[in-house]
Amino acid sequence: MAPAEPCLVLDGSARHGVRVGVLQGGRWIAEAQSDEGALEATFACAEQALAAAGLKFADLRSFAVCVGPGSMLGIRVTAMAVRTWAALQPCEVWVWEPLVALAAAVRLRGEAGAFHVVSESRLKRWHVVSVDAAGLPSPARECELEQVAALSGRILTTVTSAPQVLPAAVVVPEAWSALPKVFAEAGVLRLEPKPEALNAAADFATWSGERHRGTP
């Protein structure tokens, strides 16, 4: 099931900046990006993207917002913006997770078998989503660096500095440009009328790497 179009897509999960896009006809028809924080830039980027698309808020039929893991402030700001807009103008609200989207994107680019996608977390820890051989992603979890390094299988990330601490990590392109195709993949988007920031750290203390071991 895909979001009704036009759909306003927001991502405030990065450490710095926010991205907004207008999805229609299975492609981006307008995008806006700012290096400022989500608190300062979310509404301006939304207005810029809509203006570039020749649309008004009244033309929107759905919203899709990233719920993390990532920058808690950025995610909360963009999620609250979507909740406010949807209350003023009833629309579908969808949520997506960046590592799940990245996993789908790399599979669309030809990645096969089991693998892991990772991103930086807090206190030198890493967020991890493991994908099994059938393409099914695990819930996001927070891991120590040593746990990530011990994973069996390919470790993929968009963090360009990752190989400095994870020599086995392979840097891949971000998923944003591929999101229109990624959103059509099963399990990437889910309906959520009141989006909240995802807290992947909740599983930190109990996680074991045995379940998602793949072929090196």
CATH number of 179's domain: 3.30.420.40
- Residue 186 sits at φ, ψ, to 5 deg, of -60, 135
The answer to which of 25-29, 134-138, 180-184, 198-202 has the lowest mean pLDDT is 198-202
What is the model's pLDDT at position 216?
38
**Tens digits of per-residue pLDDT, 148-182?**
999 999 999 999 999 999 999 999 999 999 999 99
Residue 35 and residue 137 in one domain: no
Number of domains within the chain: 2
What is the model's pLDDT at position 59?
97
Q: Is residue 210 part of a domain?
A: no
Q: Tell how many helices (H) and how many strands (E) occur in the chain.
A: 5, 11
Q: How many residues does the chain have?
A: 216
Task: Return the residue matching tokens 């989207």.
Answer: 101
Is the separation of the CB atoms in 69 and 102 below 8 Å?
no
Q: Is residue 82 part of a domain?
A: yes
Residue 25 and residue 129 in one domain: no
Residue 106 and residue 11 in one domain: no
Q: Is residue 24 part of a domain?
A: yes
Q: Is residue 18 part of a domain?
A: yes
Residue 64 and residue 117 in one domain: no
Mean pLDDT of the chain: 91
Residue 12 and residue 85 in one domain: yes
Q: Is residue 30 part of a domain?
A: yes
User: In this structure, how many other beta carbons lie within 10 angstroms of the beta carbon of residue 152?
Assistant: 14
Q: What is the DSSP letter of 140?
A: P
Residue 106 and residue 155 in one domain: yes
What is the rounded average pLDDT of the residues 173-195? 95
Does the pLDDT of residue 147 top 90, yes or no?
A: yes
**Residue 39 is part of which domain span?**
7-97+175-199
What is the rounded average pLDDT of the residues 53-80? 96
Q: Is residue 58 part of a domain?
A: yes
Dist CA 122 CA 143 (whole Å): 10
Q: Is residue 154 part of a domain?
A: yes
CATH number of 122's domain: 3.30.420
